[in-house]
Amino acid sequence: MRRQKKAKLRRIARKRINVLFKEAEEAASKGELERANRYVELARKLGMRHNVSLPSEFKRRVCKNCYSYLYPSKSCSIRLKKGSLVSKCFECRSINRYVYERNSK
């Protein structure tokens, strides 16, 4: 019984994390970066409370140093360099690198 309850809570937590990141994207697109950062903070706390990791698509949208929401041209800059995506946070000036593969001909 206890295991089923934990699994149900984790499922609910994943759904809420998805909703919070969608709200963060909407807020950032409107220019409300503080609200977007708050949504990210709530999503991280929810994930830590229920032992749920953030999906990889959302991990790239959060600065690894200051945990602020990264929205291109408003809160970060993005460059492509030699097979890696480089994003620079405007808040803390840290650089996050992600490897990607180019499509071959």
- Structure-token pair, residue 67: 């945990």
Residue-level pLDDT at 21: 97
Candidates 28, 25, 20, 22; CA nearest to 44 is 20
- Mean pLDDT within 51-68: 93
Element (H, E) at 95: strand 95-99
83 close to 102: Cβ distance less than 8 angstroms:
yes
pLDDT digits (tens, 9 = 90+) for 3-15: 789 999 999 999 9
Q: How far is residue 101 from each of residues 61, 69, 81, measured CA to CA in Å? A: 19, 24, 11
- Which pLDDT score is estimated for 75? 93
State yes or no: pLDDT of 105 exceeds 80: no
pLDDT of residue 103: 73
Residue 92: name the closest of 37, 39, 24 by CA. 37
List pLDDT tens digits, range 39-58. Answer: 999 999 999 999 999 998 99
Angle made by CA atoms 29, 31, 35, in degrees to the nearest 5:
95
